Amino acid sequence: METEILEVVEGPAGERAIERAAALLRAGRLVAFPTETVYGLGALAFEPAAVRAIFAAKGRPPTNPLIVHVPSAAEARQVVRGWPERAEILARTFWPGPLTLVLPRDPRVPDEVTAGLDAVAVRAPAHPVARRLLAAVGAPVAAPSANRYGAISPTTAAHVRKSLGGAIDAILDGGATPVGIESTVLDLAGPVPTLLRPGAIGREEIAARIGEVAVPAAAPEE
Ligand code: AMP
Ligand code: MG
């Protein structure tokens, strides 16, 4: 497979690049795109075959669930069952941004996305290219980091091409990603909010908004 490189330059050519990437995604294809953390490898979250293709391209075990990317809280609510007050507060405070929330999933989210779990991870990225892409797709996009399984997460389009060139349909090149570390993953599905993965937003910042944030014994401390 030839991997298209779609460069997001200023002006109409950049708009065409985003439109092309969105059209590929809507057709069930795989497109890497920049977020404020690292490059993600996207596919339509509601299309099981498209999601399976992510795992195949990355060599990622199907037991490792994916984060669903949406433009804002309004669309996040379409992939979850229930939207607790804590989710509302955190989304108002940190979205768009590098905080991923884990909540009970809506039945439309396929098992492929959640690795069969009853909860789904969702976030609204802040990167302007990711935001334009999600708006153009008009549907939730599942996306892990755009690297072969076990390799370091990519912060440039060139890294993505080196890792996945020939295995994915396109790379939307929006330059180097500004943060370079992954999103914080917070589980809101249980009685006590729990930090599943430390990341760009600190546990203290979150606790300042919603109170106690637990850390599972096995997870590394920040
Ligand atoms: P990434 O490899 O950057 O796509 O990050 C995915 C990570 O998000 C996983 O390794 C989990 O830590 C977390 N995650 C995704 N979906 C879920 C879920 N349904 N339940 C719990 N954690 C999840
Ligand atoms: Mg990764």
Q: What is the mean pLDDT of residues 113-129?
A: 98
Instruction: Judge contact between 34 and 179, C-beta under 8 A.
Output: no
pLDDT for 180 equals 79
Asked whether residue 218 carries a pLDDT value surpassing 90, the answer given is no
Judged by its nearest atom, the ligand closest to the C-alpha of residue 147 is 2
Residue 40 pLDDT grade (very low, low, confident, very high; cuts 50, 70, 90):
very high
For residue 79, which of 114, 51, 125, 34 has the smallest C-alpha distance? Answer: 114
Best probe residue, ligand 1, of 66, 152, 195 (max atoms within 8 Å of C-beta): 66
Best probe residue, ligand 1, of 60, 102, 120 (max atoms within 8 Å of C-beta): 102
**Pocket residues: Cβ below 6 A from ligand 1:** 64-67, 102, 114, 117, 119-121, 144-145, 182, 185, 196-197
Q: What is the mean pLDDT of the chain?
A: 96
What ligand 1 atom has the least distance to the C-alpha of 114?
Answer: 19
**Cα 94 to Cα 121: distance, rounded to the nearest angstrom:** 15
Q: What is the mean pLDDT of residues 135-154?
A: 97
- Enter the pTM of the model: 0.96
Q: What is the DSSP letter of 105?
A: B
pLDDT digits (tens, 9 = 90+) for 168-181: 999 999 999 998 78
pLDDT digits (tens, 9 = 90+) for 157-166: 999 999 999 9
Q: What is the DSSP letter of 154?
A: P
